[in-house]
Amino acid sequence: MHIATCVWQEKAAPAGGMGGARVAGGGGGGEWGARAAAAAALGVAGRALNCAVSFVVFSALDVLDVVLCLAYKLADYAAEAEWRPCYCSAAADPRVAQQLPPKPKVVRLSAASPARLHLQLEDVSDTLYARPSLLADATRAGGDGVAPALTVSPAAIAALIREKTDRAPRQAPCWSDCDCKVCHAWSGTSPASLSHLYVHVQAPPAMPMAVETEDVVFIHGFISSSAFWTETVFPAFSPAARSRYRMFAVDLLGFGRSPKPAESLYTLREHVEMIERSVLRRYRLGSFHVVAHSLGSVLALALAVKYPAAVKSLTLLAPPYFPVPESEAESAAQYVMRRVAPRRVWPPIAFGASVACWYEHVSRTICLAICRHHRVWDRLFRIVTRNRVRSFLIEAFMCHTHNAAWHTLHNVVCGGAGRMGAYLDAVDRRLSCKVALFHGRDDELVPVGCTLAAGARVRRARVTVYERKDHITIVVGQERLFAAELEAIWSADQ
C-alpha cells in the first residue's frame, strides 16, 4: 500500500514541483554543484555518442534489410516454388500518396481463407508498409522530431492484403520456421484445431460440497506464452484460491503451442476473436477476471470493452499505453512505433525492439537463427547453466514464427495505439469492475509513465509501482507476492 500511495502522489504532483525541490536543495555547496555539472556534461556526451553510433548502425541496417529482401525472395522461391510477399513493395508504391477515405473500407478475401472473409483496413497498421529509412525519416521530419502525416491508398493496401492471404491455408511450416512438436503441435490433427488456441486450464479439484467458483483469464505479452503464468504465479496461489478459481492461460495466436497460420495478419480483431472462441465460448464463461501482461493488456482492454458486464476485475501489468499528442493523431501508429522502437543502440532492450519493429527481413533472419534452431539453443543453455536455471522464459521466447511476431507487433502494439485511449475511457465510464495497474520502476521496454498515464485516465484504478523491478521481474522473482496481490483483487468486494 505504501508503494501505491507514493504513485498516486507522483501522479498528482505538479510537473515542476519535483524539479523545484532539487534546485532548492542543491544551492548549498559548490562541490556538489561541480559534480552535478560534470555528471550533466557526461550525460550529454553519452547521449550524443548514442545518437551518432545509432545513426551509423541503423543506416547500415537499412541497407542490409534491402539486400536480405532480395535474398529471401530467391530462397523462398527455391524452397517453396513461390514468392512470399513482403511489405517493401508497398512502401515504394506511389499510390500511398492518395487520401484514405473517412469511412473504413472492407477488404473481401478469397474463399481460401474461410475464417477471414472480411477484413477492415483499419485493422492493418500503416507501420507495416511505411517505415522510412533513418536518413529519410530525419529529412522528412525537418529536424523537429515530428513525422509527417501519412495517408494511404485503400486499393494499394487491399491488393497487398490479397497477395498475402489469397492462398490455400497450409499446415506445413515455412522452410525458415521450426517444425517441432512444440512449435507445430496444432498441425496434423484436424481442421478444428486451427480455430482454437492452446489453453492451459487449472480447475479446482472435485469437492464433496458445492463451492461457488469464479473464472480468471490470463493473457501473456509479446513473444511469450502461457508458461509466463503457469510457471510463476499458478504454483504460488494459496490452496483457498486453487479451490475457488478456475484459471485459463492462453497461448496467443502465433505463439507457443497455438496455431501459427501463414496467411493470418494477426490483427487485434483476430487475436480477440480467437480468445473468445477458445476460452469464453468453449468453456462458457459468463463472467470472469482478466490478468494481462504488456501486449496482452491491449487485448485485455479490447475484451473488457466488448464484454463490459462480464468482466469482474481487470489487472494490467506494464500496459504499453503511449498517449498520442493531438498533433500526431493522424499518424498514431507511427508515433507509437517511434516510442516503442526509438532506433537507438542503448539501452540494449531498445535496440532489440527497434530491430524487431523497423526491419522486416533482418528480424526474419534473427528468427531463423534463434527460433528455427531453438532446440539447439535450449540444449546449449542447459549445458552452460547445468540445469540450474529454469528455461521456460527462453522456451516461450523461441516458440513463434516471424510472420506472427511481425504482424502482432505492428497490428496490435502500434496499430492499437489509437484505440488505447478510447478503451481506457470506456473502462472508466462504462465498466464498474475493479481496475489494478502494476509496473516495474526499472522497466526499460515500456516506461513506467505508460502505467501512470493509464491510471490517470481510469480514475478509480489502483496503481502500484514496484521499485527495482523491470518488465519481467515484476512477476518473475516475486511470484508469491504477486499471487497474493491477485487474490486480494479477486476477493475484494466490488
Is residue 222 included in any domain, yes or no?
Answer: yes
Is residue 277 included in any domain, yes or no?
Answer: yes
Judged against a pLDDT cut of 80, whether residue 247 lies above it is answered with: yes
Looking at residue 295, what is its pLDDT?
96
Looking at residue 268, what is its pLDDT?
95
Residue 157: alpha-carbon gap to chain centroid: 23
Cα separation, 200 vs 69, in Å, equals 38
| Opening angle at CA 369, ends 367 and 370, nearest 5 | 65
Is residue 181 included in any domain, yes or no?
Answer: no
Q: How far is CA 67 from CA 74, 356, 363, 389, 482, in A?
A: 11, 17, 13, 38, 46
| Spatial CA neighbour of 166 closest among 130, 114, 120 | 114
Strands 214-219 and 118-120, bridge-based pairing: unpaired
Judged against a pLDDT cut of 90, whether residue 218 lies above it is answered with: yes
Q: Are 268 and 411 in contact (CB under 8 A)?
A: yes
Instruction: Provide the pLDDT confidence category of residue 15 given band limits of 50, 70 and 90.
Output: very low
Question: For all residues of the chain together, what is the average pLDDT?
Answer: 81
Judged against a pLDDT cut of 60, whether residue 52 lies above it is answered with: yes
Is residue 160 included in any domain, yes or no?
Answer: no
**What domain range includes position 218?**
191-491
Instruction: Provide the pLDDT confidence category of residue 210 given band limits of 50, 70 and 90.
Output: low
Catalytic residues: 220, 294, 443, 471
Q: pLDDT tens digits for 153-169?
A: 445 555 666 555 555 55
Is residue 67 included in any domain, yes or no?
Answer: no
Q: Are 204 and 211 in contact (CB under 8 A)?
A: yes
3-state secondary structure 381-433: HHHHHCCCCCCHHHHHHHCECHHHHHHHHHHHHHCCHHHHHHHHHHHHHHCCC
pLDDT top residue among 262 and 116:
262
| Amino acid letter, 243 | S
Q: pLDDT tens digits for 396-437?
A: 888 899 999 999 999 999 998 879 999 999 999 999 999 999
Residues 366-372: contacts with CB under 8 Å, at least 24 apart: 367/176, 367/177, 367/400, 367/401, 367/402, 367/405, 368/176, 368/402, 370/398, 371/177, 371/178, 371/183, 371/398, 371/399, 371/400, 371/401, 371/402, 372/176, 372/177, 372/178
Is residue 65 included in any domain, yes or no?
Answer: no
Report the CATH number at residue 389.
3.40.50.1820
Cα separation, 326 vs 332, in Å, equals 9
Q: What is the model's pTM?
A: 0.85
Q: Please, what is the end-to-end C-alpha distance for the chain in angstroms?
A: 19
Residue 39 in grid coordinates: 555528471
- Most confidently modeled range among 31-40, 342-351, 457-466: 457-466
Count of structural domains, the chain: 1
- In this prediction, what percent of the chain has a pLDDT beyond 70? 77
Mean pLDDT score, 32-61: 90
Looking at residue 159, what is its pLDDT?
60
Q: pLDDT tens digits for 90-148?
A: 555 444 433 333 333 333 333 333 344 345 667 889 898 888 888 776 665 544 444 44
Is residue 349 included in any domain, yes or no?
Answer: yes
Is residue 15 included in any domain, yes or no?
Answer: no
